[in-house]
Amino acid sequence: MQKIYFDNAATTAIDKDVISIITNTMESTYGNPSSTHQFGRSARAMVEQSRKKIAKILNCSATEIVFTAGGSEADNLILFNSVKNLGVNRIITSKIAHHAILHTIHVLKNDFDIKVDFVDLNVNGDVDLKHLDTLLEDQTYKSLVSLMLVNNEIGNILDVDSIIEICQRNDALFHSDTVQGIAHVPIDLQKTPIDFIAASAHKFHGPKGVGFAVFKKGFGISPLLHGGDQERGARAGTENIHSITGMEKALSIAIEHFEEHKNYINNLKQYFMEQLKASFSNISFNGNSNDLEKSAFHILNVRFNKDYPMLLFSLDLKGIAASGGSACQSGSNQGSHVLNSILSEEDSQKTSVRFSFSKYNTKDEIDYVIKVLKEIIV
C-alpha cells in the first residue's frame, strides 16, 4: 500500500539537511547557553547566530526575535503582552482565526475585561476592509488587530498592506499569526511593518516544538514563563539549541529555494484541481483555495457535493493522509469553525477535505489519490 502525505498544513517532514544540523548540534554543542564557561559560550553563540540569520531573512533586528516552543506560545506571548504591557483594551480579530488566537482572546476577555470585536468576512473568507476601518474609527479603545497572514484551513492570503494602512491611520497595533505563511508568502518586515508576528518551525520542514515571536523594537515584553532571564527576560527556560539551529536551517532552505518550491507546488495544486474537476461533478473549493493568486500555493480545500462521513477514514485506510480542518481541533465533533463561519448551513453539512502539499509530493501521488477517491465517492 502506498503512503501519501497530503497534510502538510498540519506539519511537514523534516528536511534531511535540517536533521543533519540538529544531530550535529546535539553531538557537539551540549553546554547551557546561560553558562559562562567555554561550553556555555559556544552554545550561546549558536543561539545568537541563528537569531541573527532569521532576523536577516525577515529584515528585522535580532533583538526583536524571541524564541518559543512554537506558534501557539508565540501568539499567547504577543496577545498577553499587548494587553498587560501596552494598554490594549480591545482586540479585533476574525471568526476564522486559529484557536491559538481565539482561545487566548477569550481568556483575556474574561481576565482583563477587554472588548472583543470580529471583523466581517465575505463569502470567501476575506476581511471586509471597510468594516475594519469602521471598527477602528471608535478611538475610545486602544486596539490591537489580530489577523492571520494565511488561513491554515482555506489558504486565503491576507491583504496585509491594506490592513497595515488601516491600522496605522487609526493608530492601532497589528499582530499577524504567520505560522502558515512563513516560507509560503514572502515577508519583509521593513517593507511590510507588522508590529508582531508568530512562527513555528514544523510548518516549513523544521523540527516540532520550536518557533519564535517578533516584537517590534521598543515594545517591552513580560514573560509568560517565569524562573529565569533567558531570551533577554522574555521567556524563562534553557534554550532548545538544536531545534533553534534546525529551525534557522529550515527557514534558510525554504527562502533560498522559495521560487523553485512555489512553482513546483503550484503546478501540483493546479494539476490536482484539474483532475478533481474532470473526475467529479459539482465539486467546489472553499475560500480562495482554488485561486493561485489569492491563496497559499500549498493548500487546497475541496468540498464534495454531499456528506461522506467516512471519507477521511477511507483515505487513511488507503494510505492517504489529509484533513477535514485544522489538526489542532481534530478531536472536535463540531466540524471546522472556519468553514462553519463562511459556508451556508447546507454547504457546511457537505464533506470538505483539506489537501496540502509540499516539495516532497508528486503528480503520481495525485493520480493515486484521484483513483482512490473515484473508488470511494459514488
The structural domains of the chain, with segments of one domain joined by +, span 4-12+257-376, 17-256
Percentage of the chain surpassing pLDDT 90? Answer: 95
Residues 110-153 pLDDT 10s: 999 999 999 999 999 999 999 999 999 999 999 999 999 999 99
Residue showing cell 546561560:
34
- Tell me if residue 352 falls in helix, strand or coil: strand
* Average pLDDT of the residues in 5-10: 98
| 175 pLDDT higher than 80 | yes
- Tell me the C-alpha distance between 300 and 8, whole Å: 11
In order of 192, 314, 368, the CA distances from 319 in angstroms are 41, 9, 10
| 329 pLDDT higher than 90 | no
Q: What is the pLDDT of residue 378?
A: 75
Helix 241-256 vs helix 38-58: crossing angle, to nearest 10: 30
In terms of phi and psi (left: phi > 0; alpha: psi -120 to 50; beta: otherwise), the region of 65 is: beta
Region 4-12+257-376: CATH code = 3.90.1150.10
User: Residue 24 is inside which H or E element, if any?
Assistant: helix 16-28
| 327 pLDDT higher than 80 | no
- Tell me the C-alpha distance between 336 and 358, whole Å: 23
In order of 114, 158, 211, 363, the CA distances from 177 in angstroms are 20, 11, 12, 31
Percentage of the chain surpassing pLDDT 70? Answer: 97
- Tell me if residue 109 falls in helix, strand or coil: helix
DSSP, res 202: G
φ and ψ of 366, to 5 deg:
-60, -45
Residues 60-104 pLDDT 10s: 999 999 999 999 999 999 999 999 999 999 999 999 999 999 999
| 340 pLDDT higher than 70 | yes
Joined grid coordinates for residue 47: 543561539
Q: For residue 1, name the pLDDT band (cuts at 50, 70, 90).
A: confident
**Beta carbons of 131 and 94 less than 8 angstroms apart:** no
**Beta carbons of 288 and 156 less than 8 angstroms apart:** yes
* Three-state SS letters, 75-96: HHHHHHHHHHCCCCCEEEECCC
Q: For residue 220, name the pLDDT band (cuts at 50, 70, 90).
A: confident
Spell 121-158 as b/e; 16+ CB within 10 A means b: beebbbbeeeebbebbeeeebbbbbbbbbbbbbbbbbb
Joined grid coordinates for residue 141: 479603545
Residues 271-289 pLDDT 10s: 999 999 999 988 999 999 9
Q: What is the pLDDT of residue 328?
A: 56
Query: Of residues 332 and 52, which shows the higher confidence score?
Result: 52
* Average pLDDT of the residues in 176-205: 97
| 160 pLDDT higher than 70 | yes
The CATH label, of 3.30.1330.10, 3.40.640.10, 3.40.470.10, 2.115.10.20, for the domain at 17-256 is: 3.40.640.10
Closest CA to 154 of 124, 178, 179, 181: 124
Q: What is the pLDDT of residue 81?
A: 97
| 332 pLDDT higher than 60 | no
**Beta carbons of 135 and 212 less than 8 angstroms apart:** no
* Average pLDDT of the residues in 38-60: 98
| 331 pLDDT higher than 50 | no
* Average pLDDT of the residues in 3-15: 98
Q: What is the pLDDT of residue 333?
A: 55
In the residue annotation, 167 being an active-site residue is answered as: no
In order of 92, 231, 235, 310, the CA distances from 227 in angstroms are 32, 12, 9, 47
In order of 101, 176, 360, 377, the CA distances from 188 in angstroms are 23, 13, 26, 44
Query: Which position among 328, 370, 376, 377 bears the catalytic label?
Result: 328
**Beta carbons of 107 and 132 less than 8 angstroms apart:** no
- Tell me the C-alpha distance between 9 and 211, whole Å: 16
